[in-house]
Copies of this chain bind each other. A is one copy, B any other.
Amino acid sequence: MPLFAALGDETRLALVLRLGSGGPRSIAQLAAESPYTRQAITKHLEVLSAAGLVRSDRRGRERIWNVEADRLAAARKYLEQVSLQWEATLGRLKQFVEE
């Protein structure tokens, strides 16, 4: 799951959060707000983009990045699925123990 791997990095998670709460921004802007180089930001954005969490639009010489809401919803659904499965298993185990 490249999605979790993408969110697993501290810097990347911060990037996504700030992009989501502050609206679309350019690489330079994001880099200015972060302790890291523009290049580092670019690399992280690429990883996030590969995970489908983020998308870029060209605007003149700028590249504007925004957040992709659907993918996060998918992650949520996935976790929900897994935890449902867990509960089913726990239920079965409990039943088994009680028999």
Contacts and interface: CB of A to CB of B under 8 A. Distances in A.
Interface of A: 1-2, 4-10, 13, 16-17, 20-24, 67, 69, 72-73, 75-76, 79-80, 82-83, 85-87, 89-90, 92-93
Given A79-B72, A79-B76, A79-B79, A89 B20 contact: yes
Nearest to A87: B69
A5 B8 CA distance: 4
Contact of A67 (B1, B73, B86): B86
Contacts of A72: 79, 82-83, 86
13 contacts: A2-B8, A4-B5, A4-B13, A6-B8, A16-B82, A20-B85, A20-B89, A21-B86, A22-B89, A72-B79, A72-B83, A75-B79, A76-B83
